[in-house]
Structure 1
């Protein structure tokens, strides 16, 4: 999350939220929760979209979030995979993307946990015209930055707390401001108030792409709990004609979560049921396959084999309704943070983008798409570690 030299644990929790209003959807055929309706296969070598050591604007220009893209009103691809400085890449596809060194949004760095205005990462965007652009950001309060106490601290990320906040741009995403004055800019605020004696605070940390289906905008958010086993992916939605009102799936029905008022977000309910396979961490990518109207979730995972070994890397699940998902299916073998030794590269923030998608927010895929993730490459520097990063893609075929 942070663009400074970090502990590896920090890399697991960065997030933000993006959405769009687009036509799509249809009547779907249900599949078994334990079977995959689609088969995904990596079909070629990787391409490096961006290397911070080669094309970075400065030492802080580090991809630190899942890649999200939209087309602006000039037809250009605007792609974010930002750290807290929220820079973007501009072009017409992966091969032509160039970094824009201007910061498009920076939080105020305030040392008040209840404001959620310390550092914010743009993670999701929705727009129906490419000019007026809305975003959900992952907003973190980090006590170590303000020399505030945290009982039993062993890592810089201890005691940090997180919520999902809204932002708005009226210039095609070149600059953003909060939608709602802090702390009323958060439709998904931390479920419990900040405490300096709790190393892992309950938090809404990250969110996937938005899917427009049957007149609703859907997304999956990651809710982290103090007890890790209770952390879960949650399904949320907003009416497509009223994205200022959000609901959460409680296992039986959608219940009201938050509504935007003149005074900002009024939060009614932040609890939610688990969706997706048990044992997986945060789902980072969510797209709709146009040919079958099935949904694909992308995430990092470790799978224990019958012989006692494990397989780790990037996995996927498929679903016909976003509530019932297939078991984890292997996609790409990559070292994750726990697998990498000192100086070994590892993968984070995996998602999927079809650069030929006709959807303005690239939330649909056809039979050919790209797996996109960040590769972190630790290197020794003056007795410490610096961690340059690459944004890489792999071609993926999608078949029934």
Structure 2
């Protein structure tokens, strides 16, 4: 891995202008504490054009190699990884971990597939997939517009060779994990269950956040689901406001009249808004830390960018706090540089799946150099310090 110094971030920098790089917003218990480094430079590191970090990166320690090296997953519809003895010596691996199935029909939940979350248990690596049915590729979508014909679900795949390759243990559509109880509807805009966070174990269950966009109201919120058996995609249950009692519906095969109320309840909507990207247990704060993209209209000025929030139980969250002010795609025009997909990784975590953070960690995120419509995207990291408030 090349470690390229970009800038030294300081709280005294002026307000973010069109050409400015991201700047930290100091305060609270999680603070940027050093310069940014490029981990993956698309211009020189990409194996082909679509080799990009297009979701928050996920890491786990190698259960196959004796040295217990690091795997860093760069999710896209053709997913690859970086590997190395540690995070400072990661190298690009051009072998494909998962290629999208591109199933023609939405009811198979296997169209364009990203590895969004991993959880290693020895040689077995479980994965949650972000599955986009990109209806704009098919004639039923009369507008042929990507954002008008996007239908999303979450599915399951598994690797039995330490993450070198992933497959379906259950043939589609039986690999379905999470959906909303509506079928694909062309030219009705974006809806579905999206982009699971990393998987974190707590109290004998495995948890993951994900984002929901409802149909036809187009409301967005963050949901939480859990399972005790990662190998069973049908075992995940969502938080329904009272407990993990929610059953996900297969909108093509279940009785939707009986399951109409199967959209999950929002988690702490005023506190975390739509944050979902990454969660860890912090050993200094004795709290979970959730990071994601957000803003806070109650603040003047209102910084847009990456935020964090704290919780003791994953359900009740303190009000989110700004961590790094960056230009988000929906606040940009044309080919402005924008930023997405934040997640925290503590290189020294005792967890094989980097589920914990300590007094220091790294904030990993994607820099989209020429706007969200361009493939030139780099993976960047910044050191952060985590401390109890004085």
Scaled to the shorter chain, the TM-score interval is: 0.7 to 0.9
On the 8 A contact 1:111/1:143 being kept in 2, the answer is: no
Equivalent position of 2:134 in the other structure: 142
Q: Distance in 1 between matches of 2:282 and 2:117?
A: 19
Q: Distance in 1 between matches of 2:99 and 2:255?
A: 24
Equivalent position of 2:386 in the other structure: 398
On the 8 A contact 1:347/1:373 being kept in 2, the answer is: yes
On the 8 A contact 2:126/2:231 being kept in 1, the answer is: no
On the 8 A contact 2:180/2:263 being kept in 1, the answer is: no
Q: CA deviation at 1:310?
A: 2.5
SS in structure 2 of the partner of residue 338 of structure 1: helix
Unaligned 5+ segments in structure 2 are 1-27
Equivalent position of 2:114 in the other structure: 121
Deviations 1:202-226 (A, max 9, x none): x111111222212111221211113
On the 8 A contact 1:277/1:326 being kept in 2, the answer is: no
1:374 aligns with 2:358: no
1:162 aligns with 2:155: no
Unaligned 5+ segments in structure 1 are 1-37, 260-264, 380-384
On the 8 A contact 1:118/1:140 being kept in 2, the answer is: yes
Q: Distance in 2 between matches of 1:277 and 1:325?
A: 9
Q: Distance in 2 between matches of 1:295 and 1:81?
A: 24
Distance 1:229 1:161, change over 3 A: closer
On the 8 A contact 1:69/1:362 being kept in 2, the answer is: yes
Deviations 1:22-70 (A, max 9, x none): xxxxxxxxxxxxxxxx710000111110010021112221111111011
Equivalent position of 1:226 in the other structure: 215
TM-score of the superposition, structure 2-length normalised?
0.83
TM-score of the superposition, structure 1-length normalised?
0.81
Equivalent position of 1:58 in the other structure: 48
Query: In the comparison of the two structures, how many residue pairs are matched?
Result: 350
Equivalent position of 1:311 in the other structure: 303
Which of these residues, 338, 343, 350, is aligned with residue 342 of structure 2? 350
Q: Which moved more, 1:232-241 or 1:84-93?
A: 232-241
Q: CA deviation at 1:258?
A: 5.8
Q: Distance in 2 between matches of 1:241 and 1:303?
A: 35
Structure with more contact order per residue of length (Cα contacts < 8 Å, sep ≥ 6): 1
Q: CA deviation at 1:135?
A: 0.5
Q: Which moved more, 1:274-283 or 1:285-294?
A: 274-283
Q: Distance in 2 between matches of 1:304 and 1:256?
A: 31
Q: Distance in 1 between matches of 2:278 and 2:216?
A: 24
Equivalent position of 1:17 in the other structure: none
Q: Distance in 2 between matches of 1:256 and 1:226?
A: 18
Distance 1:183 1:214, change over 3 A: same
Q: What is the 5 A alignment of 1:169-188?
A: 169-188=159-178
Q: CA deviation at 1:123?
A: 0.7
On the 8 A contact 2:53/2:74 being kept in 1, the answer is: yes
SS in structure 2 of the partner of residue 291 of structure 1: coil
Q: CA deviation at 1:106?
A: 1.0
1:359 aligns with 2:347: no
Deviations 1:342-387 (A, max 9, x none): 22211011111111111010111011001110000118xxxxx743
Q: Distance in 1 between matches of 2:126 and 2:81?
A: 15
